[in-house]
A = this chain, B = another copy of it.
Amino acid sequence: MPAPITEERNLADRETLLDAAEALFYERGIRSVGMDEVRAASGLPLKRIYRFFATKEDLVVAVLRRRDQRWRASLSAHVEQVAEPRERVLTMFDWLAEWFAEPGFRGCAWINAHGELGSQSPAVLAEVRAHKQAFHDQVAEWVGATGEPVTEPVLLLAEGAIVTAGISGDPAPAAQARAAAARLLGAT
C-alpha cells in the first residue's frame, strides 16, 4: 500500500530537524527564525516538519527538551568523573568555562527563551522552569554531598556566570564563580 519512510529514517530526520532548529533558535532567537529557514537548514519538506510538530511552538518545546537532556547529561558526565564531593562541585565551573569558550556561545537557551516567550507561551515557560528545576536538583545533590549548606549560592553563582559570560562574550566569569564557590565551600 504505502510509500516508504522507515521508522529509523523518521527518527534520524527528527534529530536532523531538531539540530537545525536548535542551532538557528539559539543563534538568532526564536521569533526571528521563520519555519522556512528551519526547512532550508534541515533539508526536510515543510510537510514533514509539520507532521513531526504540529506548530512552531511544539517544535520550540521539543528543541528545549532535547537540549535539556543533552546539556545536563554532558554536565553530569564531566562532573561525575571527580569523586571528591568538594572538587566535584568545583568541576562544574570548569565545565561552564569550556562551554563559555565554545564559538557561538550566547548564554543560556532557556533564559533567552524565557525572556522572549515566557509570557507568551505557557508551554515554553513550563519547559524553562522544568530545566531550571532539574538543574537545581542536580546541583543540590552534588553540593549536599559536601555537607555544606550552600546549594543556593552555588546555583546563583553559576547562573550569574552564564548570563554574564553570554552578554560580555568573556568566559572569565566561570573562574570567578569557581573561586567564590571554593570559598563558600570552606578552605580545604
Q: How distant is A103 from chain B, measured CB to nearest CB, in Å?
A: 13
Q: What's the least CB distance linking A144 to chain B, in Å?
A: 16
Set of chain B residues within 8 Å of A157, measured between Cβ atoms: 153, 156-157, 160, 180
Give chain B nearest CB distance to A124 CB in angstroms. Answer: 11
With both beta carbons as reference points, the residue of chain B lying nearest to A129 in the complex is identified as B167
Task: Report if A158 contacts B (CB, 8 A).
Answer: yes
Stretch of A36-44, A46-54, A115-123 on the interface side: A115-123
Which 3 A/B pairs are nearest by Cβ-Cβ distance?
A: A112-B115, A156-B160, A153-B180
Kindly list chain B residues whose C-beta atoms are within 8 Å of the C-beta of A167: 110-111, 114, 118, 128-129, 132
CA distance A27 to B116 in the complex (A): 10
Residue of B nearest to A150 (CB): B180
Q: What is the bound-complex CA distance between A113 and B164, given in angstroms?
A: 14
Seen from chain A, the residues whose Cβ lies within 8 Å of a Cβ on chain B are 27-29, 31-32, 106-108, 110-120, 128-129, 132, 150, 152-153, 155-161, 163-164, 166-168, 173, 176-177, 179-180, 183-184
* Minimum CB–CB distance for A153 against chain B, Å: 3
In the docked arrangement, what's the CA distance between A120 and B150, Å? Answer: 38
Contact of A120 with B163 at beta-carbon distance under 8 Å, contacts A150-B180, A152-B176 already known: no
A59 to chain B, nearest CB (A): 17
Residue of B nearest to A177 (CB): B156
Query: Residues of B contacting A106 with CB < 8 Å?
Result: 115, 118-119
Residues on B with C-beta less than 8 A from A113 are: 115
What chain B residues lie within 8 Å of A108 (beta carbons)? Answer: 163
Given known pairs A29-B116, A107-B115, A111-B111, the reply for A176 and B156 (CB within 8 Å) is yes
A164 to B113, CA, bound (A): 14
Query: Across the interface, which residues of B come within 8 angstroms of A177, CB to CB?
Result: 153, 156
